[in-house]
Amino acid sequence: MLPCLMARESVREKSRGEKMKGFSELFHDLDEMTKTGERIARMVNYFEQAPEKDASWASWFLAGNRIKGVVKTGELREWASQRSGWPVWLIDECYERVGDLAETLSLLIGGNKKAESISLSKVVEEILLPLAHADRSEKAEALKRAWDRLRPMDLLPFHKLLTGGFRIGVSRGNLCKALAEVGQVDPAIIAQRISGDWDPGIRKFEQIVGDERPEDSWCRPFPFCLASPLQEEPNSLGDLKDWWAEWKWDGIRCQFLNEENGGMLWTRGDESVGESFPELLNLSPHLPTGLAIDGEILAWGPEGMRPFSRLQKRLGRKEPGPSVLKKEPVRFMAYDLLKMEGVDMRTLPFLDRRKRLESMLAELPGGFPLQLSMPVESTDWEKLARQREESRDRGVEGLMLKRADSIYSSGRVKGDWYKWKVDPYVADMVVVGAQLGHGKRANIYSDYTLAVLDQQGEFVTVAKAYSGLSDAELKEVDRYVRKNITGKFGPVRSVRPGIVFEIAFEGARSSGRHKSGVALRFPRIQRWRQDKKPDEVDTLENLLGYAQMGERVREDGTKTDDAGNLLLF
């Protein structure tokens, strides 16, 4: 048996009888709990008893933040090898079996059983933060000292924080509920306080859960209002006159915030992306202060809206140069007003917010990369359904339906906003490769490489997918894979073609980076086609046709208004 698997059983047995204190205990409890109510209650218990500095850091980490650039995973495996005496190749084999690098390292390192408990704030301020600014040799020595200071049960949360993979099934919404219960304030207020860029080493926990909100002039994003999928017939929503319809844009959902200190672009994923889109932040001096607009960042060139893949080229680039700005331009498509001149507008009816947004944008000079999302006007639901079928031709995902009198809620409130997306593309593909999953799927082949037929009748890889099967189906596919492995390429096993899946995807584009010449967007397993044989799967020619169709639409399917502004409606 691999050393990590033997260590895992030993640590688990000891954990049942060992009374852990503080953050490590919270981590392990949350990791094992499955009920939402239990997790919220456990967080409330921790925050009510934890030291203030620990509580601030715990809020920051549980909200999804991480300390970046602490150590490279290759260095971690090397130093873990030196510490444990196991070769790197065996550590990699353990990682493949365990499915989680942090857990693998924790099991192999073992920790110091005689070490005393150390607080979360000390772990961060005395170990993690100094590591982020140390050179390679200093990191190696500091990490060895850290392993000497930590108990076996502290190692897993420590390595999770170290590698930036701190995910234990606690949603941001549930964290807000727990903190709100501690401070006896509204969860929406908590959501605003833990949004944005804040330093838990400076901000006191009382400022997060206290009655008074800290006053400053920095941008503070609002919790996003989310739409529910439309699963019933549209006419069941009542009179169309009570609803606002607009295109569902294929970009990055974002809030444009503007205050005295400048602007900020804050995504739904709780990330500030202004450095990647400086031309949008250049709008800040021309916009009123105390402003918050909800909208979408779109890739947008002379021909109109571009595929989402073009937008991805801008993500992660800090201060892109003139050539990138010229080659990959963007614009902000605004569709809701959340705050104006410092006044919260979210409780106003949607149409009132919309009128104020139109009035504000009308005062701006022309030529800015800021555009108002216009309504899709229709006389009845049947006609609107026909207009929705034009979505692919326009490069959008479908329609958004917003109740005319709806407020801007925090999170998803069914009945106010709906997303009425067009059906995805589908294609039958055969499994030609498989890889073990991670976490609970670490011992099951659950990540699949998929192929279609080229003109020569050979299988060519076009996608990877890992979601869409039930637990029973996963086990059945796993049994097939293990009996039909034909080769090994690192963690991937080539598989004798025999299993056919119907794969759904949002779009296709030509790609010189892929051997097949095509890349699919959001591929996922829709169903297992046990009625089909491998030689009955779709062809590469069909997928290339989808890509070429979308590219032709974007080349000649654009319109302009009287001022020459590009429109898609």
Instruction: Tokens 């099991």: give the residue.
Output: 107
Instruction: Tokens 């409606």: give the residue.
Output: 569
Alpha-carbon separation of residue 182 from 50, 206, 214, 317, 319 (angstroms): 12, 10, 18, 39, 40
CB 297 within 8 Å of CB 252? yes
- The first and second tokens of residue 485, run together, are 């492995």
* Other Cβ atoms within 10 Å of 83 Cβ, number: 16
Instruction: Tokens 């890739």: give the residue.
Output: 299
Would you call 173 helix, strand, or coil by DSSP? helix
Cα 451 to the center of its chain, rounded Å = 27
DSSP string, 496-548: -S--EEEEEESEEEE-TTSTTSEEEES-EEEEE-TT--GGGS-BHHHHHHHHH
Q: What is the DSSP letter of 177?
A: H
Q: With left for phi above 0 and alpha for psi between -120 and 50, is residue 436 left, alpha or beta? A: beta
Closest CA to 23 of 2, 41, 45, 38: 45
Please give the positions annotated as active site: 248
CB 356 within 8 Å of CB 338? no
Sign, Cα dihedral of 538, 539, 543, 548:
negative
Q: Is 410 exposed, middle or buried (0-12, 13-18, 19+ CB in 10 A)?
A: buried
Length of the chain (residues): 569
Sign, Cα dihedral of 358, 359, 364, 366:
positive
Q: What is the DSSP letter of 146?
A: H
CB 159 within 8 Å of CB 152? no
Paired with 399 in beta bridges are: 247, 420
Instruction: Tokens 């990138």: give the residue.
Output: 324
Cα 408 to the center of its chain, rounded Å = 22
Instruction: Tokens 């800015």: give the residue.
Output: 368
> CA 353 to CA 335: how far, in whole Å?
10
